[in-house]
A = this chain, B = another copy of it.
């Protein structure tokens, strides 16, 4: 459970066609976070971009989704992040991982919908 106050915001950038043990890396990562008690994660897909392999990918121009950038973001308490980080970096492999300070103004609450 996240609490109000200081926390860490982690962002991972990988190509959508990068795989980890046969499944898309971003799904492997989201699954890892989900099953290790991270409170939430958001995956967004870019419409263009380039990465460490330095090819320019553009959905609009190419009209195909060739390795477009995927961004996985989550927010967690510093101590919990520290515990998961070694395995997380291992899963990410060739991707980029950055961490920023943030402040939680309101933690999400589960609701009956």
Contacts and interface: CB of A to CB of B under 8 A. Distances in A.
Nearest to A73: B71
A99 B102 CA distance: 6
Given A44-B44, A89-B106, A94 B111 contact: yes
A110 B40 CA distance: 29
Contacts of A7: 98
Contacts of A48: 26-27, 30, 43
A4 to B, nearest CB: 10
A13 B109 CA distance: 11
B108 A99 contact: no
A40 B50 contact: yes
Interface of A: 2, 7, 9-10, 13, 15, 17-18, 26-27, 30-31, 34, 39-54, 56, 58, 60-61, 67, 69-71, 75, 85, 89, 92-111, 113
